Amino acid sequence: MISGQKDFLFVPLGGCGEIGMNLNLFGHAGQWLMVDCGITFEKDEANPGG
């Protein structure tokens, strides 16, 4: 893919729109920024549902 210097690129690498599995790349002017917004919740076996 050939892009110009003014293009803003978005590349979803995994789980876009899912809780706990988001990894995205943003590109502009030859620079890239990776954003990892994934989160998981610990399962509390001693206190289910709380």
pLDDT in tens, 10-39: 998 887 767 777 889 999 998 999 998 777
Q: Which residues contact 5 (CB under 8 A, 6 or more apart)?
A: 29, 30
**Residues β-bridged to residue 27:** 9, 32
pTM exceeds 0.75 = no
Quick one: pLDDT at residue 26?
A: 96
Quick one: pLDDT at residue 32?
A: 95
Quick one: pLDDT at residue 42?
A: 73
Quick one: pLDDT at residue 43?
A: 73
